[in-house]
Structure 1
Amino acid sequence: MNLQQVLYPITIEDFFQNYYEKKHLVIKKENVDAFKELLTVKDLDTMFHSVSNHHPQFRLANHSLDEFPDPKTYTVKNSDLIDPLKFVKSFEAGNTLVMSNLEHKLSSLRELTNEFEFFFKHRTQTNIYLTPKDAQGFASHYDSHDVFILQFEGSKNWRIYDKPSPLADKTTAFVKGEYEIGNVIDEFTLNKGDVLYIPRGIVHDAYCTHENSGHITTGLLGKTWAEHLSELLLESSKNSLALRRYTKFHEVPGVDYSNEKNDVIDAVKNLINILESNEDLLDDFYARQKSITKGHLMQMLDINKIDVNSKIRLKEKHKLRIAKNDTSLSIKFYDLKLNVPSAAESFLIALFKSNQPETIKKIDCTIDEESRVLMAQELSKIGVLEVS
């Protein structure tokens, strides 16, 4: 599921022009099963009893308590391992079940975060919240990252307050009891299938009344200009005389430092240009993503069976990055890299054009059948090819 599918019927253009980093957005969908393929309560129930889960990734929240519930009440004795029976029982007692980073456990959520990360080029994670009826997990607060909330079960009531901390980040994190939240300016109910977007710094809270609630919070853990620039500044100063000069806060009659200041301005502008075109930054970003390609192990076991009669097609072709050199092509897929001769370009172009599996010998390209099979084997090794 990609960003446009999550936002539908709102267009991406409308979202970025009118809402992104500006104000909250409620999307009422007609399809109550909009997120059925992403997550169900049954999926969670299976995970509780088939995968090892640990505190604090799995924890409880309860707005009515002064402190978070003691993890000793829902973990295996003398460990941080979640006891599924105790954990689920806590839900009946009025606690919200909080499950963080489930994209590392469920491939459907990994696909969601990968699509968001591919679009935004920022890290994304999913937190799952199960709240019982007549309960509230968290007090009013704001987050230091943007969130997309996908209601996959039941319903939940939300309130938005009128005193935001615009574009709050790690330096302006919310501190309970030290921030005036203001007055409610919007109140609404998210029903199964609905979506809510809340920019960082917008004060909000949520509670259940007559129905249990399950929602996916997809957090956009973006890096600000300040974070990116601060990481580049010291490193760039090695090759920048302007950035290595002392700051000039003193005043000396007849001495003009304006040229030095202009050099610093130019150096910072150059860093911004580097950020926008730095291939290494993108490579580092993709290196941190986890592939969602399935069937790779089976293909490795059968890679020598690929022949001219095998049917192939590209998987996740929008994740492929291809760079041309004088005599070769560099193909990058997640954190894997493949160099192939430039002559193979026509083979790749044909694969990109086709959405259906094609028999290798029938692919319309300029390389011979032996080279096609070799290309298919190499592409299969990096996980980008589906072979049947």
Structure 2
Amino acid sequence: MPKKGGKHAEMGKETQAQCKRAKLEAACSPSVLSFENPDSLFGSLISPIKEEVFFKEYWEQKPLLIQSNDPLVAAYCLSLFQLSDLKELCSQGLCYGRDVNICRCVNGKKVLNKEGKVNYMQLKKDFDQKKATIQFHQPQRFKEELWKIQEKLECSFGSLVGSNVYITAQGSQGLPPHYDDVEVFILQLEGEKHWRLHKPRVPLAREYDVESEDRIGNPTHEFLLKPGDLLYFPRGTIHQADTPLGTSHSTHVTISTYQNNSWGDFLLDAIPGLVFDTAKGDVALRTSIPRQLLMVGFEVTKTG
């Protein structure tokens, strides 16, 4: 006669242990974004703001700060990229310029980097001693979760989506005040970062440019980003960020989209093709322009 609780009891204990391990793993790797479809991913990224509210009130209009006090969100963000990842990544043959930039804003100027392959010990020395910011290009090449996020966002926006990770030592600033030609989403991963946003001088700018401190005026927004927080601002928004003293370092990922994706860019692409195709079936468009027409136009421009 089998002993009380024999084989079935052992199987029950094993199942309970497996359940505990599964719960522990889930807690260590929380899934806080919905990957069901592109729209659900974007919706979960900007939650609790509704998608229709975001595009009506914020998109291309003004910044949005979403602060999270959820430890699961903070843990998820930490899993996307952190300072400790650099040692292993540097062993994969990273190069300055292509994969990594070293920069620090000194007296309003950006001090840049070395050449050739990235040596982790030298990189860490520049970070620790020179307080340089490490700019890591397109981290989704090495981080599957970031790749999954960007893949869904590209489908949601119908536009290319890129990313950079910025790791900044305490008491330093990596880049001078500047504006970008992309829509920007900042996700804070480690530590805290102090942000200042300034009114655009070129609304919805089509190119990147640096601004001097004496031209940008007082910030329109100023705040600290903490792990799990999300910041959005439109292209053209002048911005600068630094890691405060007392924080060992700050890591954030910048996710960007809508570069060269305006109506002007669309027409520049569409109209030449339209004219070319129309000229195939319309002989009037294939006749020559009047002699010296371009020369007359040049003289008008030159004298005007």
Could you tell me the TM-score, scaled by structure 2's length? 0.72
Question: For residue 11 of structure 1, what is the aligned residue in structure 2?
Answer: 50
Task: Report the Cα offset of residue 128 of structure 1.
Answer: 0.3
4+ residue runs over 3 A deviation = 40-45, 175-179, 241-247
Task: Give the 5 Å matches for 1:300-311.
Answer: none
Name the structure 1 match of 2:64. Answer: 25
Secondary structure in structure 2 of the residue aligned to 1:99: strand
1:231 is matched by which residue type in structure 2? D
1:92 is aligned to 2:131:
no
- For the aligned residue pairs, the C-alpha RMSD in angstroms reads 2.5
Residues of 1 paired with 2:258 and 2:90: CA distance? 26
Structure-2 residue corresponding to 1:181: 216
Distance in 1, Cα, partners of 2:157 & 2:138: 18
Of 98, 105, 108, which aligns to 1:63? 105
1:194 aligns with 2:229: yes
1:230 aligns with 2:268: yes
Q: Matched residue pairs, number? A: 238
Question: Structure 1 residues 244 and 107, CA, compared in 2 at 3 Å: closer, same or farther?
Answer: farther
- In structure 1, the partner of 2:82 is 40
Q: State the structure with bigger RCO (CA 8 A, min sep 6), 1 or 2.
A: 2
Q: Compute the displacement of 1:183 (Å).
A: 1.9
Could you tell me how far apart the structure 1 residues matched to 2:200 and 2:53 are? 25
Between the aligned partners of 2:66 and 2:186, the Cα distance in structure 1 is: 10
Instruction: Give the secondary-structure state (helix, strand or coil) at the position aligned to 1:4.
Output: helix
**Structure-to-structure mapping, 1:307-346, within 5 angstroms:** none
Deviation at 1:229, TM superposition (A): 1.8
Distance 1:140 1:217, change over 3 A: same
Query: Following the alignment from structure 2 to structure 1, what is the Cα–Cα distance between the partners of residues 104 and 213?
Result: 20
Displacement after TM superposition at 1:176 (Å) = 4.2
| Whole-Å separation in 2 of the counterparts to 1:127 and 1:192 | 17
CA separation in 1, counterparts of 2:184 and 2:162?
10
CA distance in 1, matches of 2:46, 2:263: 26
Which residue of structure 2 aligns with residue 52 of structure 1? 93
Pairing 1:133–2:174 present: no
Amino acid at match of 2:278: S
**SS of 1:183 mapped into structure 2:** coil
Q: Deviations over 1:39-76 (max 9, x none)?
A: 23333332223x2211213011101264423414xxxx
Unaligned runs of 5+ in 1: 73-79, 248-388
Offset at 1:116? 0.9
Distance in 2 between residues matched to 1:156 and 1:141, nearest whole Å: 17
Change (3 A) 1:194 1:175: closer
C-alpha distance in 1 between matches for 2:198 and 2:269: 34
**SS class of match (1:240):** helix
Q: Which residue of 1 aligns with 2:203?
A: 166
C-alpha distance in structure 2 between counterparts of 1:71 and 1:160, whole Å: 30
2:119 to 75, 78, 83: 83
Instruction: Summarize the Cα distance change of 1:196–1:154 in structure 2 as closer, same or farther, 3 Å threshold.
Output: same
| Distance in 2 separating the partners of 1:89 and 1:62 | 14
- How many Å separate the matches in 1 of 2:90 and 2:132? 16
* Cα distance in 2 for residues equivalent to 1:130 and 1:178: 23
The answer to whether the Cα contact below 8 Å between 2:177 and 2:210 also exists between their aligned partners in 1 is: no
Tell me the amino acid that sits aligned with residue 90 of structure 2: F
> Which residue in the other structure is 1:333 paired with?
none
Task: Report the CA distance between 1:139 and its aligned residue.
Answer: 1.1
* Distance (whole Å) between structure 1 residues aligned to residue 113 and residue 163 of structure 2: 23
Which of 117, 122, 139 lines up with 2:159 in the alignment? 122
TM-score scaled to structure 1, two decimals? Answer: 0.57
The one-letter code sitting in structure 1 at the alignment partner of 2:68 is K
Return closer, same or farther for 1:67/1:183 CA change in 2, 3 Å cut-off.
closer
Whole-Å separation in 1 of the counterparts to 2:188 and 2:182: 19
Q: Give aligned-pair identity as a percent.
A: 27
1:311-343: CA deviation from partner (whole Å, max 9, x where unpaired): xxxxxxxxxxxxxxxxxxxxxxxxxxxxxxxxx
Task: Give the distance between the partners of 2:87 and 2:205, measured in 1 at CA.
Answer: 35
